[in-house]
Amino acid sequence: MTAGATGPVRKPRVGHIQFLNCMPIYWGLVHSGALLDIELVKDSSERLGERLVAGELDIAPIPLAHFLKHSEDLVVLEGPAVGCDGPVMSCNLISQVPFEELDGQRVALGSTSRTTVQLARLLLRERFHVAPEYFTCPPDLSLMMQEAPGAVLIGDPALRAALIEVPRHGLHMLDLGQAWKDWTGLPMVFAVFAVRRAYLAEHPDLVREVHQGFLRSVEMAINEVDKVAAQVARWEVFDAAELEKYYTTLDFSFGPRHLAGVREFARQISGQIDVDPDVRIDVLGADA
């Protein structure tokens, strides 16, 4: 770790989302040795976003919608992200009736959602021309389906629903990543890796080290995705083949097309939440 004028600089405080979709990144951090150079803080994506803005973390993967609301204080790291360029499998709109019949009906929003919630509301309004009554509840599909004909789920509960519960119960499901791609032709980014602008200004070399560590970790995980899936499957209800399919469906990169997708998403949801349609988005290049 780089030393400062008065001694060693503390390790960067780096967030980690406790969802299966970030396990390849974590696996890569462990096996590349990058984990030794950071203080890893595990939490939900929403809490990581709040803690990053509050200065309790230095770098973290945070929901895209949260970044867009606080982009004046944050910079995106080029390269690592959590998104898709087509299906995502773990961000889903699920319904007991055709989506066109949800007008005026209740739709339960998984309480861990943020970006996905905005995307679902956008697609229901623009693609299916319906205006449901939304309410927030815990992300448990069986309970959500008792309270409403429609539900929005993300992360592990959404993946479980897609692979197990939707086929078992004959429910309607819209993969929100694929729906965004069909509508716009662009990738969908659900979470970006962001650094506090002030921390970047104070410790550019440390940020560069962490950034490169993430890039190496993602590359290692993608190259050895079968090993990642096999290890994760030991502790999950999903088998290794399902997890390998999931991890190769996800897109862990962030480049010019992803930035275009982010800008389009900001433009589209600017009427739903307090986001400037021409929001400032600064990206720290991988070679910076």
Q: Which domains, and CATH codes, for the chain?
A: 3-85+188-284 (3.40.190.10), 91-184 (3.40.190.10)
User: Rounded to the nearest 5°, which phi and psi values hold at 55?
Assistant: 85, 10
Q: What is the pLDDT of residues 158-211, one digit of tens each?
A: 999 999 999 999 999 999 999 999 999 999 999 999 999 999 999 999 999 999
Measured CA angle at 255 (ends 249, 261), to 5 deg: 75
Which residues, 6 or more positions from 135, have their beta carbon under 8 angstroms from its beta carbon? 106, 107, 108, 109, 147, 148
Q: Which residues of the chain have pLDDT under 70?
A: 1-8, 288
Which residues, 6 or more positions from 187, have their beta carbon under 8 angstroms from its beta carbon? 83, 84, 85, 181, 251, 257, 258, 261
Residue 64's pLDDT is: 96
**Beta strands 283-284 and 106-110: pairing type?**
unpaired
- Across the chain, mean pLDDT equals 93
Residue 271's pLDDT is: 84
The dihedral sign for the CA sequence 257, 79, 55, 111: positive
Buried b (16+ CB within 10 A) or exposed e, 49-72: bbbbbeeebbbbbbbbbbbbbbbe
**Beta strands 188-196 and 59-63: pairing type?**
antiparallel
DSSP string, 168-235: HHT-EEEEHHHHHHHHHSS-EEEEEEEEEHHHHHH-HHHHHHHHHHHHHHHHHHHHTHHHHHHHHHTT
Comparing C-alpha atoms, which of 71, 23, 16 is closest to residue 280?
Answer: 71
Residue 8's pLDDT is: 64
C-beta neighbour count of 137 within 10 angstroms: 14
The dihedral sign for the CA sequence 153, 159, 163, 164: negative
Residue 1's pLDDT is: 47
> For residue 14, what are its two tokens?
């780096």
What is the number of alpha carbons within 13 Å of residue 112 lying toward its C-beta?
22
Angle between helices 256-269 and 115-126 (to 10 degrees): 70
Residue 3's pLDDT is: 46
Q: Does the reported pTM lie above 0.95? A: no
What is the number of alpha carbons within 13 Å of residue 23 lying toward its C-beta?
22
